[in-house]
Amino acid sequence: MAHDHSANKPKRILSGVKPTGKAHIGNYLGAMRNHVNMQQDHENFIFIADLHSLTTVKNKAELQELIIDLALDYLALGLNPERAVFFRQSDIPEHAELTWVLSCLTPMPMLELAHAYKDAVAKANREINVGLFTYPILMAVDILIYKPDIVPVGKDQKQHVEIARDLAGKFNRIYGDVFKLPVPYIPEEVAVVIGTDGQKMSKSYGNTIEIFASDKALKKQVMGIVTDSTPVEAPKDPDTIYKLYSYFATEDEKKTLLERYQAGGMGYGDAKKLLLEKIIETFKPFREERERLRNDLAYVKDVLKKGAEKAREVAAATKNEVWEKTGLSI
């Protein structure tokens, strides 16, 4: 349902992605593509979560490049600054300010149970900083400050949206209604996109297929998909290659690959070639657009600046309400 018919007003969506590395098929299908597609019949707020990147990225030039890269990615994929408010989190000081207020309502155990934090502790190959621990509070503010109806994200972010809802409810109960309780939007077929090793595709697992990589790099990634040792002649079950192919192929193309798998005689090498062609064909126009935009960084920076101005109006209004309710405005 795209519209709130009672008010006949488009629903507001909000989402963001951290600039922490090269965008991959999981990010694209699980998040970015939905953000772009939803802009037609929703009111969109899409942002670059650069404050979140500081939990892991500690190099100035690297962070700057990651931010610009992500802006280029979104614009190349079709994000339209006329339809979406596209901005950088760090341009809006209210995010950090409200994070303090919500921190004072957040019980420690709520954060201790968060998956992202537990995973970080379990891996613990690096220092665990307080930012990583309080990350869900900043994310809750990212969402709540814009009062969206819907937050489209991959499944791994569901818990964070639930924390945002809990904190919104708690604030409203204690101080009076300010925040809207948003719902996550997680399309089932792309909730968890698998990577080249068969587990969830993620930058941190090194199992990604990058959407803007060169043909050569893409070939390396696709050829690196882990397969079993079923011989060429033998029938095959639908596997990682088939699943990835399914995201981009038509029903007929999927059926053909499945039949060739079942008949035997189709090697995984051939299936990988088919997948590679499909990926190159799908992303070619986006890659070309990205190259074009790369030569016009002044435009990209201007888009973010104008987006920040619009976002700030909304964020500042919510902050005023919070200051009003809590007693910080006298």
Q: Write out the residues near ligand ADP by the rule CB under 6 A.
A: 17-18, 20, 26-27, 30-31, 153-154, 156-157, 190, 192-193, 200-204
Minimum gap (Å) between residue 125 Cβ and ligand TRP = 19
- Residue from 18, 165, 200, 278 in contact with ligand TRP (CB under 6 A): 18
15 binds ligand TRP per the rule CB under 6 A: yes
Tell me whether residue 92 or residue 201 sits nearer to ligand ADP (CB atom).
201
- 306 near 277, Cβ under 8 Å? no
Give the distance from CA 117 to its chain's centroid. Answer: 18
- Residue from 76, 77, 114, 153 in contact with ligand TRP (CB under 6 A): 153
Minimum gap (Å) between residue 153 Cβ and ligand ADP = 4
Minimum gap (Å) between residue 284 Cβ and ligand ADP = 22
Tell me whether residue 139 or residue 178 sits nearer to ligand ADP (CB atom).
139
Tell me whether residue 71 or residue 101 sits nearer to ligand ADP (CB atom).
71
Residues 6 or more apart whose CB falls under 8 angstroms from that of 276 comprise 218, 219, 222, 223
**C-alpha span between 80 and 149 (Å, rounded):** 20
What's the length of the chain?
330
Tell me how many residues contact ligand TRP (CB under 6 A). 14
Minimum gap (Å) between residue 20 Cβ and ligand ADP = 6
Minimum gap (Å) between residue 14 Cβ and ligand TRP = 6
Segment 95-134, which members bind ligand TRP (CB under 6 A)?
Answer: none
Per-residue burial over 35-71, b if 16 or more Cβ lie within 10 Å, else e, is bbebbeebbbbbbbbbbbbebbbeeeeebeebbbbbb
Strand segments (E) across the chain: 3-4, 9-10, 12-17, 43-48, 84-88, 150-152, 183-185
Can you give the binding site for ligand TRP, defined by CB under 6 A?
14-18, 49, 52, 139, 142-143, 151, 153, 157, 160
